[in-house]
Amino acid sequence: MATLQEKIAKICPAATVAEVDGAPMITVDEAHWHDLAKALRDDEDLSMDYLVTIVGYDHVDTMGCVYYLMSTRHNTNLGVTVAATGDRTQPMLHSVTDLWNIAGLYEREVFDFFGIIFINNPDMRRLFLSIDWKGYPLRKDYDASPNINPVPVDNERQSDFTQSWVEGPDGKVEEKQLEVFGPDDFVVNIGPQHPATHGVLRFRTAVDGETIKKIDVYMGYIHRGIEKLCETQGYPQTLHYLDRMDYFSALNYHHGLCILYERAAGIEISRRAQVIRVMMDELSRIASHCLFMGTFCMDLGATSMLFYTLRVREQILDILERTCGARMTFNYDCVGGVMQDLDANFQHDVKELLKVLPANIKEYNKVFVGNVIAKNRMEGVGVLSREDAISYGVTGPNGRASGWACDIRKWRPYSIYPELQFDEITRTEGDSMARFKVRLAEIEQSARILEQLVDNIPEGEYLVKVPKVLKLPVGQWFQLVEGCRGVFGMHLESDGGTKPARLKFATPSLPAAGVVDHLTRGEKIADLITIGGSMDYIVPDMDR
């Protein structure tokens, strides 16, 4: 901490360093922000090469952003708070798109929600809401009256242009209009209603013959404004929205937010609850990867694979249902432990599952991985290098397929993961086949974790007593967990009340979709389905 303080003081004397939630939080004014960001990324001792997320905030008198950065080399993390200049009509910040590739997308999200303009970002369109949307929904003074923004009946207005605020050499900022697609581009529209986009995602694809020139990923077809809704709900109530973001990682996400609240409120949970939570996480990871394999192979034309993989998934859903009471949207983890105790047959059911898993994995390998058609369609298609994976923030099995060891369970262990024996699967190829194989191998590792725990579930209470109305002290917290698709980050700001003042979710699906443009350029349009499918993004997860 002291060395970091000296280091920052040397790089940028205007910055101050404080400790927030156990990690350094740098506060810097807008004028020095871009230089500091460049130094944080390029400095040998800091080397903050992974931008976790950008959190916009509105404190009524000031607006700005919190940047969360991590170093993949030194395993350190820090936050940077930057207040925007200008008044509420046009707050401005300097863009860091030139330093981290994913920043462009995150800045568009902040612009959409808060109206903060990022100078020098080449593409400052709204991300989730339509061009004609009035107001910025996550501002505290936003008027949500349906008369201002009624449900549209006409088709959405489309534009081939985007605006950008560019800083000239004399420091003057000017608004410019730039082209997304030129007049000579041949643009094919794919989605939002398309069986191979895995939900309501839309690609505007400029093609030259069969070769993709550029893809404009168009999101927001399932944007439900979860972050705004959370600000109107009590802390325990906010949990149930997480079931509906990435519905395959429902338990993992719940686990993360519960850890965050428990840390903020100073609640210790029993070991039994911790073991149950981890077992549930791993069960849902297997179920999620199974469904991925089924739908991905179906995209490639191998329909029968879906039936093989859903066989295992249904078995897991039965186990979860007997304990949690639902097949999806479990709402099982809660602050202080879990909702109810395990089913009497839980251990027996898990053992039965572990018995049949190896044979199933063998079958998947036999049917699909060695298949010559699958090999031709997947090997060498959509190669993502390790540097790009980090710069685009592509985590989870996708990042690990590119050789980036980004598993939060190993990197930033939480709950009882440090005690467990399991391997982090990484590959070096970075193509679609590698992404498939990583997931297949992760099923084996999840089964290994379950094997270690199934006979060692300690006795004890599953839920400690917590106050019905949870009140958190004033402060700011940040928590990372490993969902089924990668790093899931949560930023909580509390004003001492019973509702979060700001709750931001950084989901792994948004970068996974954001990188599609980079991956597909120069590839054939038929490979778009392979690449998109192998990224395994969940559209409600990226739109929130």
Which chain residues interact with other proteins by CB under 8 A? 128-130, 137, 142, 144, 149, 151-156, 192-195, 199-200, 220-226, 228-229, 232, 240-241, 243-244, 247-248, 291, 295, 306-307, 310-311, 314, 327-329, 539-540
Both tokens assigned to 188: 């094919």
CA distance 321 to 301: 31
Angle at 357 between CA 355 and CA 359, to 5 degrees: 90
130 vs 365, which CB is nearer to other proteins? 130
* Nearest-approach distance from CB 304 to other proteins, in angstroms: 10
CA dihedral 159, 161, 166, 168 (to 10 degrees): -140
* Nearest-approach distance from CB 539 to other proteins, in angstroms: 8
In sequence order, what DSSP letters do the residues of 39-94 get, joined into one string? Answer: HHHH-TTT---EEEEEEEEE-SS-EEEEEEEEETTTTEEEEEEEEPBS-TTS-EEE
Helix residue spans in 367-431 (DSSP H): 372-378, 386-391, 396-401, 408-411
CA distance 65 to 84: 8
Q: In 320-330, which positions are buried (b, 16+ CB within 10 angstroms) versus exposed (e)? A: beebbeeeeeb
CA distance 57 to 501: 9
* Nearest-approach distance from CB 109 to other proteins, in angstroms: 14
Q: Are 390 and 50 in contact (CB under 8 A)?
A: yes
* Nearest-approach distance from CB 63 to other proteins, in angstroms: 19
Find, among 430, 449, 454, the residue nearest to 382 by Cα: 430
* Nearest-approach distance from CB 503 to other proteins, in angstroms: 14
CA distance 383 to 290: 23
Both tokens assigned to 452: 């270690």
Give me the half-sphere count of Cα atoms (radius 13 Å) on the Cβ side of residue 193: 0
* Nearest-approach distance from CB 246 to other proteins, in angstroms: 10
- Number of neighbouring beta carbons within 10 Å of residue 533: 24
At 65, which helix (H) or strand (E)?
Answer: strand 63-71
86 vs 199, which CB is nearer to other proteins? 199
49 vs 349, which CB is nearer to other proteins? 349
* Nearest-approach distance from CB 275 to other proteins, in angstroms: 27
* Nearest-approach distance from CB 446 to other proteins, in angstroms: 19
23 vs 229, which CB is nearer to other proteins? 229
- 19 in the Ramachandran plot: left (φ > 0), alpha (ψ -120 to 50) or beta? beta
* Nearest-approach distance from CB 462 to other proteins, in angstroms: 24
220 vs 489, which CB is nearer to other proteins? 220
At 298, which helix (H) or strand (E)?
Answer: helix 271-299
222 vs 279, which CB is nearer to other proteins? 222
152 vs 496, which CB is nearer to other proteins? 152
Find, among 478, 487, 282, the residue nearest to 395 by Cα: 487
* Nearest-approach distance from CB 538 to other proteins, in angstroms: 9
Both tokens assigned to 510: 């948004």
92 vs 226, which CB is nearer to other proteins? 226
Q: Are 137 and 152 in contact (CB under 8 A)?
A: no
221 vs 411, which CB is nearer to other proteins? 221
232 vs 365, which CB is nearer to other proteins? 232
